[in-house]
Chains A and B, each alone.
Chain A
Amino acid sequence: MAVSLIIDGQTVRAAPGATVLEAALAGGIYIPHLCHHPDLTPAGACRLCYVTVNGGGPVLACRTPAQEGMVVQTGSPEIDEIRRGLVELLMANHHGNCKGCLKSGRCALQEIIAKLRIDRKKLQQLRPAAEELPRDTSNPFFVLDPNKCVLCGICVRTCEELVGVGALNFAGRGYRSRVGPLGAGPLAQSVCESCGECVERCPVAGLAYVDHRRPREHVQTVCHSCGAGCPVTLGLRDGRVVEAKGELCGRGRFGWRILQAPDRLTVPLIRRNGAPAEASWEEALDLAARELSRYRGGECAVLCSGRLTNEEAYLLQRFAREVLGTNNIDSTLRLTHAVSLETLREATGWGGATGPFEAVEEAACILLVGANVARSHPVLARRIRRAAARGARLVVIDPREDDLGRFAHLWLQPYPGTDPALLMGMAVALVEEQLVDPAILGGLGAFLASLEDFPPGRVSRITGVPEELVTEAAKCYATSRPAVALWGTGLTQHPHGGDGVRALINLALLAGHTGLYPLLEEANAQGVWDLGCTPHHLPGQRPVPDPRAGGKGPESSPKGDGASYPGLTLTEVWDAVLEGRVRALYIIGVDPLGELPEAEKIREALGRVELLVYQHCFMGATGPLAHVVLPAAGWFEKEGTVTRADGRITRVRRVAGPAGGSLPDGDIICGLAARMGGERFVPEPASVLGEIASGVRGYGGLSWEGLEKGAEANVARPPLEARAAPLEYRGPTERPDMQYPLLLTGARNSPYGDVLSQKVEGLRALQPEEYLALHHKDAADFGITDGDRVRVLSRRGELTVRAAVTDVCPPGVVILNYRVFPDSLTGTISRVCAVTLERLA
C-alpha cells in the first residue's frame, strides 16, 4: 500500500516500503545525501540526510521508513548546522579543487556545497588533509582517486550487491580507510571486471572515467557484445558515441569504441595486379556480382556470423537460396551451439531457449554446465550471483572452478568430455531416488533401459566425480522449483557434443523442469539461425527437404535447385573448397582466418578458392586474400531487429555512422542481388521485417512500429512437447595414458579476446597474460612451480606457455584459454586431448 506523508509542507505519495529519503526524492524534494543510491541497501554513513519526523529529534531519512501521515522537515537550525559542519569536514579533507576535476559539473559534493551556505573563513580554520595519496590509473577507462573519495561505500556495495564480483572493498580503518581491491594492488590486476557499474554510481570523482565527455543526445539500442542482448543507451556528442549507460559489462560499457577504431574499412577494395586497390561501390559491386554469377549453385558458399541483424540474415539466406541457388550457407554458430539448437529442435520442436533470461534470476536452482558465464555473458552471471545470494542453489558442472565458485552450492568437476555420462548418471540418481513423476516415466522403456548403461560406479569412474556428489546434484536440481539449466560451449565443443545436450534435456524432462538455456555467444546468433542462415534449415527452422533422406552426404546441386538439398556446414566448406567442389565464397561479418580454428586448413582453402568476396568492418586476416572487399557498417551503425539468446526480439538502432564509405550489410546484399537478377530485394529493415512477420514461423505478427515503441516481443516457440530419449555413452576420443598422463581442455579465462576486444585498445590492455592452469598435485609431480614456463606436448603438437598452479581444476586436468588453444594439439576443432608437460629452464 502506498502511503502519503507531508514533507516540508508538501504532500508526497511514497511507494510501499520506501524510506523518507526515497519518498522525498521521488516527490522532487531534495535532501542532501552522499551514500544513498536507489539500487543499493542504505548505509547511513554520510549522516547528511537528517530530517525531523513529527517534531522529534534528527533521524536519518535514508533509514526511516515512510509512514502514513508522517510530518517531515528536511531542515532545522540543528540539522543545518550538522550538514554544514560535515560538508566542511569533507571539504577540508578533499584534495585539489574542482577546476580540472574529472567529475566537475556532475559531482554530488559540488551540488551539496552549492545548496548549503558554507562559511569559507571557518573552512580555512580547519586543518587540511596531510598526505596526497597515489591514484590508481591501472584501468584504461577509469581512475580510482582516493584523494577525491568520500568513502560513501556506493562502489563497494555496487560491486558486492549488484555485480557480485566484490572486487572493491574498504581497507584499513578510521581516517586511513581506503577503497580498493585485494592487497591494495592495481585494480586492473584484481578480479575487477571493468564493468564500470561503480564508476556510474560514484557521486564524486573517487571513480571517474578518464575521457568522459557529456553527451547531448541519447539513443536506446541493444548491446552487441554477447547473446544476453542487454539494453543499452548510448550517449552522443557531435555525432560520436561518448558513453554507454545501462546494466552492462566491460565489453558493453566500453566496446562502442570499436566504432572509432582507426583501422575501420571505409572504402571498397578490389584486387588489381594481385594487390587490393580502392574502388567505388559501383565498381566493387559490379565486379563481385559479375564474378559470383559465373558459379552455379553449390559451387558457391556463404558464411556469416551472428553479428547480422534479423533482416540482414533473412536477406542473406534469400540471396544464397534465390540468387546463388544454394543451401551452402552457415554461420559461426556452427562452432559453438549449432548442436545445441539442433538437438533442442529435435527434442522439443524448437531450437532455442525455453524462457526469458529474467527467469534465471527467479529460479530456486540453477544448473550450469560447461559455461564460463562470468566471462561469456557477464551480465547474466550477475543474475546468477544475485539469485544465489538470495538463496537459490547454484549447481555447476565444469572441470574448471571459476569465480562463480563462491556462489555455488555444488561444483562438480568431471573430466573434460565426460558430461554426457555425468548427466545420465544424474538421471539414474533421480530414478533411483524416486524423484521422477510416474506419469513422466510411463512409456520411457527404451530410455530407462539405456540408463542401465550408467550405473553410479561407472559414472563416477568415467567422470571422476564422487557418486554422492552426483546424487546430491541431481536431488538438488530435481527438488527445487522452478529450476533452470544453462549450458555453454564446454558441453557442446566435443565430438559428441549433441549427446551432452540431449542428456541435459533428458534430465530436465525427468525432473519436470522446462527452463533450458543454451548460452549463445554472438549478439544475434539465434536470429541468424532462426532466419535460415544454416544449410539444413529454412527460415523458421523448417528443415530443408532432402530428397536423398538417409542417403549420402550433401553435395553440390544444380543452380536453381538450391532449396532442394541441405547444404554444407561452415566446417565442411573448407574441405569442399580444397576438393574443388566449392569455388566461390561470400563471407560476411566473420574473419575466418583470424578468428576460427583450423587456421592452416582455412589458409589453404582461401588461397585455393577462385573467388572470395569479403564483407566486414575490418580487413582482418582474411581481407588481404579477397578479390573484392566490401566495407560494412558496424553494429551501432545500422537499423534492424535482433533476437537475443533467449528469444527476446528487440530493435537495434543506428546510433552513428556508418563510418567512412561503409554500408549496412543489408544494403550491400541487396546491391549484389539487384545486379544478379534477384527480385524484391529491398534493404529497408521495416519492409524486410514485414516480410519476415508474414511468413517465418516463430516471427509471425511482429510489427516494426510496435518494436519501435518498445513493445516486448518474443519468438513464438511451439509448446514444449518432449520425451527423454535413450543415449549410448561415447567417451572422449582420447584418454590420458602413461606417456600423456594429463587431459587438456579449453576454457575461457577472460571476457576479452574476441574481435571486439581486440579492436578496442583499452579492452585489449585488460587481457590477462595467457596461462596453463594446473592442479598443485600435478605441478608437484612435474616439478613445476607457479609462473614457470612449460611446454605442453600432445601426440600431435606442442605449445609453450606460463604455468599457473591452482586448484581451480581437478588433478589430472589442465586448462588453456580457448583463444590460444592451437589446433595442432588436437588436430581437430575439438578442445580435449591428452598431454604431458615439460618444465623449461
Chain B
Amino acid sequence: MSGELSLVREILAGYGKSRGALIPVLQEVQAALGYVPEGAMVEIARHLGIPASHVYSVASFYAQFRLQPLGRRRIAVCRGTACHVRGAPEILKELEGLTGIREGETSEDLEYTLETVACIGCCALAPCVRVNDEVYGEMTREKVRALFPDSEEAHRDAG
C-alpha cells in the first residue's frame, strides 16, 4: 500500500491544486496501479483540495475507473448496436462460461476480468471483443474459445 501511495504522490506532484485535474489524475493513477484504491482517492482529494467523497463520486460515475484490482486478462465485450445485432450477447455468454465469472466480475485468482464496454468503435467488424489492448473483430463462439486454450483444456479436464 505504501508503495502504491508513493506512486500516487509522484503522479500528483505533476498537477496543481485544481479540481479540473481530477479525471486526468485518476486516469494516470489507474494506468500506474491498474485500479484506483481508496487510499489513493484520499491522497488525490487532499492534493486537489476536494472532499474524498467527491473523488469517489467521480471515480464511480465513469465506466473507465476500476475501484478493485483487475485480472491479468481484461476481457471487454463490446455491446455497441452493431455488435448486439450481430451476436454480442452470445459472445458474452460464451465468455462467462469459459471464465466462470459474470459480467463486471474479476476471478478470484485475478486471472480474468470480464466486462462490457459501450462501444469500441469497430462496428464494421462486429461483434468485437477486446482483451487488454488488443481488439478482435468478427467474433464467433469458436474464435472466442480459441482465445482461451488453457481454459478450454481446464474444461475438458474437469469434464
Contact = CB atoms under 8 A, between A and B. Distances in A.
> Do A and B interact directly, with beta carbons closer than 8 Å?
yes
23 contacts: A160-B51, A166-B51, A166-B54, A167-B51, A168-B53, A169-B53, A169-B54, A170-B61, A171-B56, A172-B60, A172-B61, A173-B61, A181-B53, A182-B41, A182-B55, A190-B53, A191-B52, A406-B49, A406-B51, A407-B49, A776-B6, A785-B2, A805-B2
A699 to B, nearest CB: 43
Contacts of A171: 56-57, 60
Contacts of B67: 183
Nearest to A173: B61
B53 A167 contact: yes
A776 B2 contact: yes
B49 A182 contact: no
Nearest to B37: A183
A4 B6 CA distance: 60
Interface in B46-97: 46, 48-57, 60-61, 67
A165 interface: yes
Contacts of B46: 405-406
A786 interface: yes
The 8 nearest A-B residue pairs measured at CB? A166-B51, A169-B57, A169-B53, A406-B49, A182-B52, A171-B60, A182-B56, A183-B38
Range class of the B interface residue count:
20 to 34
B50 A406 contact: yes
Given A785-B2, A786-B1, A805-B2, A182 B53 contact: yes
A183 B39 CA distance: 10
A182 B50 contact: no
Given A172-B60, A805-B2, A191 B51 contact: yes
B45 interface: yes
B17 to A, nearest CB: 9
Contacts of A405: 46, 49
Given A183-B41, A776-B5, 17 more contacts: A166-B53, A169-B53, A171-B56, A171-B60, A181-B53, A182-B53, A182-B55, A182-B56, A184-B56, A190-B53, A405-B46, A405-B49, A406-B46, A406-B49, A406-B50, A406-B51, A407-B49
A405 B52 CA distance: 12
Query: For the complex, would chain A's binding face be called helix, strand, loop or mixed by DSSP majority?
Result: mixed
B42 interface: yes
A190 B38 CA distance: 12
Interface in A167-209: 167-173, 180-184, 190-191
Contacts of A170: 57, 61
Interface in B1-29: 1-2, 5-6
B66 to A, nearest CB: 14
A624 to B, nearest CB: 45
Contacts of B60: 171-173
A190 to B, nearest CB: 7
B51 A169 contact: yes
A166 B49 CA distance: 11
Interface of A: 160, 165-173, 180-184, 190-191, 405-407, 776, 785-786, 805
A181 B52 CA distance: 8
Nearest to B47: A406
A182 B5 CA distance: 17
A182 B42 contact: yes
A378 B13 CA distance: 31
Contacts, number: 60
A537 to B, nearest CB: 44
Nearest to B42: A182
A756 B19 CA distance: 39
For A182, A776, A786, A805, the residue with the greatest tally of chain B CB atoms inside 10 Å of its CB is: A182
Nearest to B5: A776
Nearest to B43: A807
Contacts of A160: 51, 54
Contacts of B38: 182-183
A405 B49 CA distance: 7
Nearest to B9: A807
Nearest to A164: B51
Nearest to A805: B2
Contacts of B51: 160, 165-167, 169, 191, 406
A522 B61 CA distance: 44
Contacts of B55: 182
B57 to A, nearest CB: 4
Given A786-B1, A805-B2, A169 B56 contact: yes
A186 to B, nearest CB: 13
A166 B38 CA distance: 16
Nearest to B52: A182
B41 to A, nearest CB: 6
A183 B56 contact: yes
Residue of A169, A190, A785 most packed against chain B (CB within 10 A): A169
Interface string B102-139: 00000000000000000000000000000000000000
A183 B60 CA distance: 9
Contacts of A167: 51, 53
Contacts of A406: 45-46, 48-51
A350 to B, nearest CB: 37
A250 B48 CA distance: 27
A184 B51 CA distance: 14
B53 to A, nearest CB: 4
Contacts of A180: 53
B101 to A, nearest CB: 19
Contacts of A173: 60-61
A785 B49 CA distance: 26
A405 B45 CA distance: 10
Contacts of A785: 2
Nearest to A388: B49
A159 to B, nearest CB: 8
A169 B59 CA distance: 12
Contacts of B45: 406
A170 B56 CA distance: 9
A777 to B, nearest CB: 11
Nearest to B39: A786
A571 to B, nearest CB: 38
A184 B67 CA distance: 11
A347 B57 CA distance: 50
Contacts of B6: 776
A760 to B, nearest CB: 26
A326 to B, nearest CB: 52
Which of A165, A166, A180 has its CB near the most chain B CB atoms (within 10 A)?
Answer: A166
A171 B59 CA distance: 8
Nearest to B62: A173
Max chain B C-beta neighbours (<10 A), residue from A160, A183, A405, A786: A183
A170 B42 CA distance: 16
- Tell me which of B41, B45, B50 has the highest count of chain A C-beta atoms within 10 A of its own C-beta: B45
Contacts of A165: 51
A776 B48 CA distance: 20
A165 B6 CA distance: 26
B102 to A, nearest CB: 15
A52 B49 CA distance: 41
Nearest to A183: B38
B4 to A, nearest CB: 12
A635 B127 CA distance: 72
A406 B51 CA distance: 8
A166 B57 CA distance: 11
A781 to B, nearest CB: 13
A171 B62 CA distance: 10
